[in-house]
Amino acid sequence: MLKLLPLILFLAYGLALWHFSAWRTRRMLDGASFPLREPALVAMAERLARALEVPKVPVHVFDVPGVNGLAAPDGRIFLTRGFVDRFRAGDVSAEEMASVIAHEMGHVALGHGKRRMIDFTGRNAMQMLLATLLGRFVPVVGVWLASVLTTALAAGLSRRDEFEADRWASALLIRAGIGCGPQKSLFLKLDRLTGMQGGGAPDWLRSHPKAAERIAAIEANERKWQDHRA
C-alpha cells in the first residue's frame, strides 16, 4: 500500500487540479457570456434541436474576440463573440456556424468532458511520476522529457475526441437537412479565421487534427453511410 501512496497522491493532485480548472472556467464563462440572440443562428440551433427531437439547444456567446466554439465542463455550448462577428461580416454562413454548434454538441453527447477529466487527472499523475523517476537519472532533461511525453499523449487523445465530435456532428447535420458541405467548407477557412498559418507545432503535438485530415474523415464517413443506405 505504501508503494502505491505516491501514485494515489499524484492522482488526487491531478483530480483537484482539474476541478479547480473547471470551476475557474465556469466562473469565467458565467461572468462573460450571454444567450445567443442572432436570429439566423438561433434558427439554426432550433433546426438542430428538431432533428434531435429535443425542445431546445441552448447556445451562449462568450464575450471574447477570438474565433472559437467550446463545450464547457458542465455541458453548456458557447460561440465566441469573435466568431459571431465573423458571421455578421459575411465571412462564415449560418450553416457553417451550425456545424460548429453541432460539433460542440458532439463533445457533450459523447461525454468528452468526463473523459477529459480522467485524461487530465491521469496525465498529471503520469507527468509527476515520470518527472520523479527520470529526474533521478537526468535531473533537468528528465523533467522536460516527462512534460513532452505527457503533452504528446494528451494531444493524441484530444485529436481522437475531435474526430469523434466531427463524426457525430456530420450525422446530425445530415439529419437536420443541412448536410456536411458547410462543415467541410468551414474547415477550409479555419486557419485564416483563427489567424493560424499552417506549420506550428509538429503533428504529434497538435491538439486538433489538420483541416485536410478532418475533411477526409468526414468524406469517408459520408461514403460509408451512403454504402449502407444503398
- d(CA 13, CA 5) in angstroms, rounded, equals 12
Residue with more model confidence, 108 or 204: 108
Closest CA to 59 of 17, 118, 12, 108: 108
- Paired sense of beta strands 77-80 and 59-62, if any: parallel
Neighbours of 121 (CB within 10 A): 20
**pLDDT at residue 105, as a whole number:** 96
What is the DSSP secondary-structure string of 44-74?
Answer: HHHHHHHHHT-S---EEEE--SS--EEE-TT
Query: What sections of 32-180 are H helices per DSSP?
Result: 39-52, 81-88, 94-109, 112-137, 139-175
Q: To which H or E segment does residue 35 belong?
A: strand 33-35
| CA neighbours closer than 13 Å in the CB half-sphere of residue 208 | 15
Region 14-19 average pLDDT: 59
Using the predicted structure, report yes or no on whether residue 199 has a pLDDT greater than 60: no
- d(CA 65, CA 84) in angstroms, rounded, equals 9
Using the predicted structure, report yes or no on whether residue 204 has a pLDDT greater than 50: no
- d(CA 29, CA 63) in angstroms, rounded, equals 9
Using the predicted structure, report yes or no on whether residue 102 has a pLDDT greater than 70: yes
| Total domains present in the chain | 1
Using the predicted structure, report yes or no on whether residue 135 has a pLDDT greater than 80: no
Residue with more model confidence, 135 or 189: 189
Tell me the backbone φ, ψ of residue 138, rounded to 5 degrees: -130, 85
Residue pair 18/120 in contact (Cβ under 8 Å)? The answer is: yes
Residue with more model confidence, 145 or 224: 224
Angle between helices 211-229 and 139-175 (to 10 degrees): 40
Region 195-201 average pLDDT: 54
DSSP class of residue 33 equals E
**What rounded mean pLDDT belongs to the chain?**
80
Region 73-94 average pLDDT: 93
pLDDT in tens, 139-174: 655 554 555 555 665 666 778 899 999 999 999 999
> pLDDT grade, residue 88 (50/70/90)?
very high
Percent of the chain with pLDDT over 90: 50
**pLDDT at residue 205, as a whole number:** 45
> pLDDT grade, residue 133 (50/70/90)?
low
pLDDT in tens, 50-64: 999 999 999 999 999
What would you report as the CA-atom Rg of the chain, rounded to the nearest whole angstrom? 20
pTM here is 0.75
Region 5-34 average pLDDT: 68
Closest CA to 27 of 66, 79, 67, 72: 72
DSSP class of residue 2 equals G
Residue with more model confidence, 223 or 122: 223
Range of the domain at 165: 2-229
